[in-house]
């Protein structure tokens, strides 16, 4: 069955967990900017974690369903409603044929991820259903959604406890930090980049102690930051090297750029730091005028935090499976 896009909102695209294994050919990862949020939402509706959902930026999305589905969303503090009923983040909800699901403006953050039981059925391109907005392929016709689009949904797995009960919104939920990662003046943890020692002591001190403001010139490729100018002591030219989501590059202007999921595969600007994987979901919520700080952690701590989150997600997955009929 299809899902009708009555209003597409500011920027809504089909995303899954990304396009893995093609960076050597210059193909970006794409995928949800908060992979963990989409994984959690998919588990809540009974999907495989890699099922394609929607990434919603800011507000305005309105969807109509042609058949019964289960939906869940995670992300910023959005006002989401099914008809007149408020749907909080991290809760599965049963929607009926003809129901309208709409996303109002967020109080904090700027993005959310919507999972729909069955997943969105768009062609797989290079191993992924994600939309590469810059290269215009994948997802739904290689572009953001528009008013009047109709998306094909895969078969609805009728395995949720919501089906056949009077409970429309499940009381079960994931931990708050998973489903609502947006923060006011967040602190992003980082490990030192390969070019850390190319920067002056004062620049390093500013980077780890001062607030940076998010520039309006930010998108899915990266977050540009305004703040203290980060100056190099070594001005020698650099050979372009691999970069990845989380890499913080510093161009000649001295204003750092935090790369996100649609970032290029190589870059020649010095890399002062790299935001750790578990904090990329927080970074994905940054919007113009937000302010952010950076705090250093060890590589061992970064690995430990990621392993802890994966263990927690596995326990959550098992817990959900035990409650499915």
Say whether pLDDT at 99 is over 90.
Answer: yes
How far, CA to CA in Å, does 272 sit from each of 2, 94, 257, 286, 300? 46, 46, 10, 20, 18
pLDDT digits (tens, 9 = 90+) for 36-53: 999 999 999 999 999 999
Q: Mean pLDDT across the stretch 158-170?
A: 60
For the question of whether the overall pTM of this predicted structure is more than 0.85, the answer is yes
Give the chain's domains with CATH numbers.
2-181 (no CATH), 187-305 (2.40.100.10)
Q: Mean pLDDT across the stretch 290-302?
A: 98
d(CA 139, CA 124): 8
Which pLDDT score is estimated for 163? 47
3-state SS, residue 179: helix
Burial (CB < 10 A; 0-12, 13-18, 19+), residue 256, is: buried
Q: CA nearest 192: which of 282, 270, 278?
A: 270
Confidence class for position 164, pLDDT limits 50, 70, 90: very low
Phi, psi dihedrals of residue 152, rounded to the nearest 5°: -80, 130
Which pLDDT score is estimated for 150? 97
pLDDT digits (tens, 9 = 90+) for 110-154: 999 999 999 999 999 999 999 999 999 999 999 999 999 999 999
DSSP per residue, 52-113: -EEEEESS-EEEEESS-EEEEEEESS--EEETTEE--TT--EEE-TT-EEEE---SS-SEEE
What's 139's DSSP letter? Answer: T
pLDDT digits (tens, 9 = 90+) for 216-246: 999 999 999 999 999 999 877 788 999 999 9
**Pairwise pLDDT comparison (97 vs 157), residue with the higher score:** 97
**Pairwise pLDDT comparison (292 vs 1), residue with the higher score:** 292
Contact 92, 45 (CB under 8 A): yes
Within a 10 A sphere around the Cβ of 209, how many other Cβ atoms? 11
Phi, psi dihedrals of residue 302, rounded to the nearest 5°: -60, -45
Confidence class for position 325, pLDDT limits 50, 70, 90: very low
Kindly state the tokens that stand for 157.
Answer: 């797995």
Which pLDDT score is estimated for 157? 65
Phi, psi dihedrals of residue 316, rounded to the nearest 5°: -65, -45
The overall average pLDDT reported for the chain is: 93
d(CA 62, CA 51): 21
């Amino acid at each position: 069955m299809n899902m009708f896009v009555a209003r597409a909102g500011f920027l809504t695209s089909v995303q899954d967990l990304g396009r893995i294994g093609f960076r050597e050919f210059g193909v970006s990862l794409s995928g949800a900017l908060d992979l963990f949020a989409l994984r959690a939402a998919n588990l809540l509706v009974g999907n495989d974690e890699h099922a394609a959902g929607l990434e919603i930026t800011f507000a305005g999305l309105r969807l109509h369903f042609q058949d019964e589905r289960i939906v869940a969303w995670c992300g910023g503090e959005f006002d989401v409603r099914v008809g007149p009923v408020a749907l909080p983040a991290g809760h599965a909800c049963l929607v009926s044929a003809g129901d309208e699901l709409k996303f109002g403006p967020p109080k904090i953050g700027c993005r959310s991820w919507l999972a729909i039981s069955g997943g969105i059925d768009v062609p797989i391109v290079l191993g992924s259903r994600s939309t590469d907005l810059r290269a215009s392929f994948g997802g739904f016709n290689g572009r953001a959604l528009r008013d009047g689009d109709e998306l094909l949904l895969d078969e609805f797995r009728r395995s949720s406890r919501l089906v056949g009960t009077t409970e429309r919104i499940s009381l079960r939920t994931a931990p708050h930090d998973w489903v609502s990662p947006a923060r006011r003046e967040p602190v992003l943890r980082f490990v030192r980049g390969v070019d850390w020692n190319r920067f002056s002591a004062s620049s390093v001190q500013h980077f780890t102690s001062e607030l940076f403001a998010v520039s309006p010139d930010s998108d899915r490729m990266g977050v540009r930051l305004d703040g203290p100018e980060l100056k190099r002591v070594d001005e020698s030219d650099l050979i372009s090297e691999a970069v990845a989501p989380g890499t913080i590059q510093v161009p000649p202007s001295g204003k750092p750029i935090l790369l996100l999921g649609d970032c290029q595969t190589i870059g020649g600007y010095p890399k002062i730091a790299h935001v750790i994987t578990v904090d990329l979901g927080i970074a994905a919520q940054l919007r113009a005028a937000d302010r952010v700080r950076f705090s250093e952690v060890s590589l061992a701590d970064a690995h430990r935090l990621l392993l802890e989150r994966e263990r927690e997600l596995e326990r959550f997955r098992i817990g959900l499976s035990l409650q499915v009929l």
